[in-house]
Amino acid sequence: MHLDMPAGAQAKLLAYIDLLAKWNHAYNLTAVRDPAEMVPRHLLDSLAVLPFVQGATLADLGSGAGLPGIPLAIARPALAVTLVESNGKKARFLREAVRSLPLPNVKVAQVRVQDAAGRFDTVTARAFASLADMLVWGGHLLAPDGRWLALKGHADAAEMAAVPPGFRVVATHPLRVPGAAGERCVIELARSPSRNA
């Protein structure tokens, strides 16, 4: 994937997969049960968006098991990552991952996306909702010059056409994920330029 990774990142990513597999038995965090399958479907899928992450802060909405937020935080230790997850069981797992891995650049916000606070240079959301719903619920979190990265199976023209006022689609980037079957892409969005600027 030609990604620049800091020293120790690979070991930490695999430790995360071990932790996810262990907790998954009791907490049902992901439908993927086999740790070997988690590598392409979760780790590599998440890391595929790394080239599009910008700025110093990132919010991962509907983070679930911490995807893509935790792999991105491991790959970029200087990035301040907030994992937004309202489900109590999933938030407990996220807090344990932050503590045990450890991930000093990550914090967990156990709130609904609509109630999350802050402004972030990059906002990620993976198979979380339609683009319109994502932006209506979480658009307030995107910094004025920030980028919203929606991880999707494929780019749906009708869904992109329904992006609410105030936002625009910048680009659709196909993702190459080694070992993962099916189409993957990231839809990059930004705030629309203000008319009275």
End-to-end CA distance of the chain: 39
CA angle 94, 122, 28 (to 5 degrees): 25
82 or 34, higher pLDDT: 82
Q: Alpha-carbon distance 84 to 68, whole Å?
A: 12
Query: Pick from 124, 31, 34: which is nearest to 75 by CA?
Result: 124
Is-contact 173 188, C-beta < 8 A? Answer: yes
Q: What is the pTM of this model?
A: 0.94
* Domain range enclosing 112: 9-191
Q: Alpha-carbon distance 141 to 134, whole Å?
A: 11
Is there a domain that residue 61 lies in?
yes
Is there a domain that residue 4 lies in?
no
H or E element that contains 58: strand 57-61
Query: Pick from 145, 30, 142, 15: which is nearest to 90 by CA?
Result: 30
Q: Provide the domain count of the chain.
A: 1
pLDDT digits (tens, 9 = 90+) for 20-40: 999 998 888 888 888 778 887
Is there a domain that residue 28 lies in?
yes
What is the number of other CB atoms lying within 10 angstroms of the CB of residue 190? 17
Is there a domain that residue 1 lies in?
no
Q: In what order do the strands lie in the sheet with 106-109?
A: 106-109, 80-84, 57-61, 120-126, 142-152, 185-191, 167-174
Is there a domain that residue 142 lies in?
yes
Is there a domain that residue 130 lies in?
yes
CATH number at residue 94: 3.40.50.150
| Residue type for position 125 | A
Task: Tell me whether residue 157 is exposed, middle or buried, using C-beta atoms within 10 angstroms of its C-beta: 0 to 12, 13 to 18, 19 or more.
Answer: exposed
Is there a domain that residue 151 lies in?
yes
pLDDT digits (tens, 9 = 90+) for 89-148: 999 999 999 999 999 999 999 999 999 999 999 999 987 789 999 999 999 999 999 999
Question: What confidence tier does 195 reach under pLDDT thresholds 50, 70, 90?
Answer: low
Question: Across residues 173-178, what is the average pLDDT?
Answer: 88
Is there a domain that residue 123 lies in?
yes
